[in-house]
Amino acid sequence: MSALPATTIAPLPGQGPVEILRLLDGLDAPTLWWLSGYAAAQASHAGSAARALPTVPAREAGPQERLTIIYGSQTGNARRLAEKLAHDAENAGLAVRLLRADVYPQRELKSERLLYIVISTQGDGDPPDDARGLVEFVVGKRVPPLVDLKYAVLGLGDSSYPQFCAIGRRLDARLAELGATRVLAAGEADVDIETVATPWLEQALGAARETLKTAAPRATVTALRPHAANAEWSRERPFAAELLVNQRIVSRDGARAVHHVELSLEGSGLTYEPGDALGVWPTNAAVLVDAVLQTLQLDGETRVTHAGETHSLHAWLSTRRELTRLARPFIAAHAAHARAEDLNRLLAPDRNSDLAKLLNTHQVIDLLREFPAVWNADELVAALRPLTPRLYSIASSRRRVGDEVHLTVANVAWKAFGHTHAGTASTFLTSRDDGARVPVFIESNERFRLPDAGTDVIMIGPGTGVAPFRAFVQERHEAGARGRNWLFFGNRHFHDDFLYQTEWQDALRKGALHRLDLAFSRDQESKVYVQDRLREHGSELHAWLENGARLYVCGDATQMARDVHEALVDVFVTHGGLDRESAQAHLSELIQQGRYARDVY
């Protein structure tokens, strides 16, 4: 059979995706044909709410001549690449189907002929939420031998994490182990994704052509491309949004500055849904750029040509290179330049944790200061990793704010090695004045969507994790949703950093928010966190969930998300009468069904 691609299905509420798949099962080509056109029409009428419509082959192609592309994506990068690949393959006349990992019917794996997987690595070497099930299946025992399968894997990752592209690597190795044939070496895209991805996609397309000796190209229904509305602007072609408001929203005593930022999308045609993130292309702080130039005694005016682009060194360092996020390759290069043996030793496989620590605590400038070395402008630009955009959960609903987009930005700043350190994008955003222009793009997140109006939602968002829930509550209120909204929020101090306090109070009064539970960790002797509140209100929480409530978690990935997950396990053990294993399993189920969604960073 052929399943409609994930992108169509994702926005459908609740069990939607799975149900539709079941319905479609065994439908004949003409029916599917008609369906896709019908859906396309529906989508275009739905206007801004339109979701990407798939490309559906004119004639239902069997597995033998079909390319299947599966993606697992947390923040949309893998999805974007997979969509591009599908698009190109389709234009090349290949029969393609594109599926998000969690809607891929696993039993079809054995009958696949050509399979491409584009997948990122999350957490500490974990799969993206939407791919947990597939990865479990593939690495698990129940997976059949795949001797007839040809495949290729493109992994996405961030080399500043010790488990670089771990998931991509794992799948690639495992498929080989199962007897499948690798048509192309696994790609490992770092945060400068395109550097690796673009050539890989080309080769992948070539290999597909080879493998599927295609007959004459077929006509295909050209459906809406993903984000038709946003087509004009993209990650590579960001829109210069005007900054309308940049307002500190923690008290003067608040330890960590958090700002509410409002940007205008007027005239851009950009649209977003609650749950989406905004991509921001930052500029490195001038002081930092100067510090680097000074330390290396380089002239900012020096013209540097790299990868066919020519700019002044200053321009390269300001808007085109990472100065605050270190990566393995640069450490290696700098170790060589500085002839720093001990630095070099950190790169040894057995020193992963030490390396991770260095990557997490040092900026380029720290390395340059600690291990003096001579660099010339060209080498430097070549060695530094390209600047990457930062994502910020969108904190507003268009139904409420129209052409605006709101963010909740915590300014990352700390002291180390006798110098003040600051995060690039958060500082860039929180230090702009009204009227400034900020290059942005929409990063949609199909995995973090509100359910239908009748369903209850439970939102767990401590710190800046509360951002998307401001959007949720605005949206549900404007839409007159009947479902109840329960928010768990936490921070350090009630007095100082109760983010959006007056808005929540207002929402409670208006009945836009039905319940708000708070955890201020440092207001009493013993620390209290959201997970403690979850346990406290476990029986109600359990009742809500049994009643079909959706669960959302947003915010810190390193600690919070894990602790919250643990608390949820406890809730099901204590109030659901499950043992830990079944509780774990139940939660994984909820995750796969999209009833427990996380947006953690």
Partner 1 sequence: MTTTPSHLEEIKAASRFLRGGIAAGLADPITGAISDDDNKLLKFHGSYQQDDRDLREERRQQKLEPAYSFMIRARLPGGVVTPSQWLAFDAIAREHANGTLRITTRQTFQWHGVIKGRLKPTIAAINASLADTLAACGDVNRTVVSSANPLQSSAHQIAYEWAARLSEHLLPSTRAYHEIWLDGEKVAGDEGESEPLYGATYLPRKFKIGLAVPPTNDIDVFAQDLGLIAIIENGELKGFNVAVGGGMGASHGDPTTWPRLGDVIGFVAPERLLALATGVLTVQRDFGNRSQRLYARLKYTIEHRGLDWFTRELEQRLGFALEPARPFAFANNGDRYGWIEGEDGRWHLTLHIAAGRVADTPGQPWLTGLREIACVLRAAASHVQFRLTCNQNLIIAGVAADDRAAIDALVAQHALDAYRAQSGIRRHALACVALPTCGLAMAEAERYLPELLPKLEAQLARHGLSDAPIGLRLSGCPNGCSRPYLGEIALVGRAPGRYDLRLGADFRGQRLNRLHRQNINEAEILATLEPLFAQYAHERSTDEDFGDFLLRAGALAPEAPRTIPATVIA
Residue 504 main-chain phi, psi, to 5 deg: -65, -40
Do the Cβ atoms of 124 and 155 come closer than 8 Å? no
**Binding at 390: pick from ligand FMN, ligand FAD, partner 1, none (beta carbon under 5-8 Å per type):** ligand FAD
Of 13-32, binders to ligand FMN (CB under 6 A) are none
Rounded least distance, CB 585 to ligand FMN, Å: 23
Rounded least distance, CB 75 to ligand FMN, Å: 3
**Binding at 48: pick from partner 1, ligand FMN, ligand FAD, none (beta carbon under 5-8 Å per type):** none
Rounded least distance, CB 347 to ligand FAD, Å: 18
Here's the x/- map for ligand FMN, 190-219, by CB under 6 A: it reads as: ---x--------------------------
> CA 453 to CA 448: how far, in whole Å?
15
The CA-atom distances, in angstroms, between 153 and each of 1, 119, 181, 579 are 24, 8, 11, 36
Of 514-573, binders to ligand FMN (CB under 6 A) are 557
> CA 69 to CA 448: how far, in whole Å?
22
Which residue, 21 or 467, has its beta carbon nearer to ligand FAD?
A: 467
The CA-atom distances, in angstroms, between 168 and each of 117, 188, 353 are 8, 8, 21
Contacts of 354 (CB under 8 A, 6+ apart): 346
**Binding at 249: pick from ligand FMN, partner 1, ligand FAD, none (beta carbon under 5-8 Å per type):** partner 1
Q: Quick check: 271 binds ligand FMN (CB under 6 A)?
A: no
> CA 414 to CA 199: how far, in whole Å?
38
**Binding at 277: pick from partner 1, ligand FAD, ligand FMN, none (beta carbon under 5-8 Å per type):** ligand FAD
What pairs with residue 440 in β-bridges?
239, 280
Rounded least distance, CB 139 to ligand FAD, Å: 25
> Each residue of 328-364: b (16+ CB within 10 Å) or e?
bebbebbbebbebeebeebeeeeeeeebbebbeebbb
Ranked by CB distance to ligand FAD, the top (closest) residue is 423
Rounded least distance, CB 500 to partner 1, Å: 5
- Chain position carrying tokens 């991770």: 356
Q: List, in sequence order, the alpha helices (H) in 55-185.
A: 77-91, 132-139, 166-177
Residue 590 is which amino acid?
L
> CA 444 to CA 391: how far, in whole Å?
11
Q: Quick check: 448 binds ligand FMN (CB under 6 A)?
A: no
Contact residues for ligand FAD, defined by CB under 6 A: 75, 277, 282, 324-325, 360-361, 390-393, 408-410, 412, 414, 423-427, 464, 467, 599, 601
The string of DSSP letters for 384-417 reads: SPBP--EEEEB---HHHHTTEEEEEEE--EEEET
Cβ-count burial of 384 within 10 angstroms (0-12 exposed, 13-18 middle, 19+ buried)? buried
Rounded least distance, CB 474 to partner 1, Å: 14
Cβ-count burial of 108 within 10 angstroms (0-12 exposed, 13-18 middle, 19+ buried)? middle
- Chain position carrying tokens 């509360």: 466
**Binding at 494: pick from ligand FMN, partner 1, ligand FAD, none (beta carbon under 5-8 Å per type):** partner 1
> CA 177 to CA 566: how far, in whole Å?
33
Rounded least distance, CB 447 to ligand FMN, Å: 10
Of 149-188, binders to ligand FMN (CB under 6 A) are 156-158, 161, 163-166
Q: What is the DSSP letter of 141?
A: S
Rounded least distance, CB 159 to ligand FAD, Å: 13
Ranked by CB distance to ligand FMN, the top (closest) residue is 157
Which residue, 74 or 246, has its beta carbon nearer to ligand FMN?
A: 74
Which residue, 427 or 474, has its beta carbon nearer to ligand FAD?
A: 427
Do the Cβ atoms of 485 and 472 come closer than 8 Å? yes
**Binding at 223: pick from ligand FMN, ligand FAD, partner 1, none (beta carbon under 5-8 Å per type):** none
**Binding at 248: pick from partner 1, ligand FMN, ligand FAD, none (beta carbon under 5-8 Å per type):** partner 1
- Angle of helix 538-546 versus helix 560-576 axis, rounded to 10: 80
Rounded least distance, CB 78 to ligand FMN, Å: 3
Contact residues for partner 1, defined by CB under 8 A: 247-252, 260, 494-495, 498-505, 508, 516, 518, 523
Q: What is the DSSP letter of 5?
A: P
Q: Quick check: 430 binds ligand FMN (CB under 6 A)?
A: no
> Each residue of 179-188: b (16+ CB within 10 Å) or e?
ebebbbebbb
Q: Quick check: 2 binds ligand FMN (CB under 6 A)?
A: no
Which residue, 235 or 260, has its beta carbon nearer to partner 1?
A: 260
Q: Quick check: 226 binds ligand FMN (CB under 6 A)?
A: no
Q: Which of 57, 63, 123, 133 binds ligand FMN (CB under 6 A)?
A: 123
Rounded least distance, CB 508 to ligand FAD, Å: 22
**Binding at 464: pick from ligand FMN, partner 1, ligand FAD, none (beta carbon under 5-8 Å per type):** ligand FAD
Do the Cβ atoms of 406 and 261 come closer than 8 Å? yes
- Binding footprint of ligand FMN on the chain (CB under 6 A): 73-78, 120-125, 128, 156-158, 161, 163-166, 193, 557, 600-601
